[in-house]
A and B are shown apart, each in its own frame.
Chain A
Amino acid sequence: MSMATIHAVQRRSPFARLRRNGSATASLVLLAGLLLACFSAPLTGAAVGIDATSIDLFNIAAAPSADHPLGTDEIGRDLLMRLLEGGRVSLTVGLAAALSATVIGTLIGLLAGYRGGIADAVLMRLADGVISLPLLPLLIVLAAIDPVKIGLPSELVHSESFSLYRIVIIIALVGWTTTARLVRGTVLSLRERDFIEAARAQGLPPSRILLRHLLPNAASPILVAMTLTIGNVILFESVLSFLGLGIQPPIPSWGNMLTGAQDLISVAPMLAVWPGLLIFAAVIAFNFLGDGLQDALDPRALSQHGR
């Protein structure tokens, strides 16, 4: 990637290109809608007087009605509110985990690419290793260890939302590799360029060169990788939930709602259909968006689509 093309990309607004990509635009709209609905759920719920935790034993697994647009769940809670609440959790976890994985990956990639030599070799072997390992079985071990034994304060471990942090940490620990490779690649390709040489000659400190000159150029692949990661995290959370290692009730997430409803598939199929659909929709939307972003941010993408 030469400087000329990079600037060209920045000039030809990527947003304009993204808008021309139908599925990516649709995904963006869908995701924006989901985010808005989920994060405003407590407010709208309070406004109409429904919340996700009030239980009505006399109204179990009820069909959709005016009070409950999607019906109620197996202990009489409003399904729509639960889905929105669960969405808030799933999306938050997805964003937080993807963000932390990206930050770690970016730092490692910058370090490996800029330093080169042994640091590069070690870090990249590590990335190779992490990528090639059978992750899920390993994650099961990670998810099963007792955090108190590694010295975390027990008040933290014993809080209701600890399962949430745990997932974010686990994903950050293994999800950094793609970003690290991308960033390293960009840094390597730019390291010897004139403008970096010039910056170095001016005596700018490495941290400044890294952050001001190298990082912005790696921004597009990072953004793409992160978008794709969010989708994967949401999917991954559902799989962990299926194995009983995901986000723990009473905190709802799409993953644990789907897992719980699975047992009742023949009794109340809609309880499983809705979270399943939402996971599917959100993940596919993130994938389309990531793909669209890639096309929009990568100048060569145009010819790929032959448009």
Chain B
Amino acid sequence: MSTFVMPSLGADMESAVLMEWKVKEGDHVRKGDIIAEVETSKGVIEIEVFEEGTIEKLLVAEETECAVGAPLALIRSEGESASEPAAAPPLPEIPTEPAEPVPPETLPQTPPSGSPSAERIKASPVARKKAKELGIDLFSLAAAGEEVHLSEVEAAAKPPQPPSMGGMRQAIARAMSRSNTEIPHYYLSTSINMTPALRWLSDLNAARSIDQRILPAALLIRAVVKALQEVPELNGFWRDDALHPSGEIHPGIAIALRKEGLITPALLNAGEMDLNRTMEALGDLISRTRAGKLRSSELTQQTVTVTNLGDLGVQSVYGVIYPPQVALVGLGKIIDAPWAEGDALTVRKVMQVTLAGDHRATDGRTGGQFLQELERLLQHPEELL
């Protein structure tokens, strides 16, 4: 039996409201299935399960605020037998003389009867009393192995406060400070002639109906992903003093929320997508990001970051790597610029691409190979189809 807990969907997340269960007790679930919807500061997120089994018990009601790590459901894996309802505790053995029956000692707040794991919650006496007074389920406060104290019960009693932008700002501040303190960044930059790629794209789109068109942003992501397949050292994590390249490519795409803030959800499994699929998935990711409808895996599994500030007119992006990732690709605005071709000076569509690399994980040579491959692909856009 395993416990499914509220996942952390970002460094700034302390709790979330479980809005809706997508499964019921007895349902079979597989890895990647959506188990519930939770509401966070980043909108409504669909959270996924990462194991196969049967939902034994849902531990919290819908519309409950739950801390990160709070148990949400019990999942029975295959082969494990369904638990029997707990049998009544046996009476102590009475030697010979009939004695007064000893009533089983009752705790003020035992977990609901029939609750299978029924692990005793380590709550302090005053936390138990207060939780009872306020009608707060101690189980919802108890992270695995953690003790529950008065302060947690009192915090749970307060109306859930949406994490403020201040909180998000602080989380970003912490991550960026850590990045700049720990990660020795190196920066490489190159100008890429985008005329061949844009002309190719324009011809492609001219032959397509409007709902089949490909935008330059999708072409660029596709090119970055394909270049990363050639230089996999830039796609992964720095953990325990070692580079761990990721098998899958999940680029975090920086997407501005129109109202406020910026999120970099992952374009999951981008390595397996052709250009059409990349365009489709990117459009879907952007609209779900703005509608507040992301999945938990999209908020947690980024393997590299792609930042495009071209919309703001920025020509060069020198980014700060989001730990534990090891690289950030910055795409600038595509501008008309003088360009030497052979002996002639012409005007071309030019984009500045910058790579921020973690020097512990890779050297400039690796980064150079990546930029070189990216440029080559954009000169041969048909390879990106």
Bind each other: no
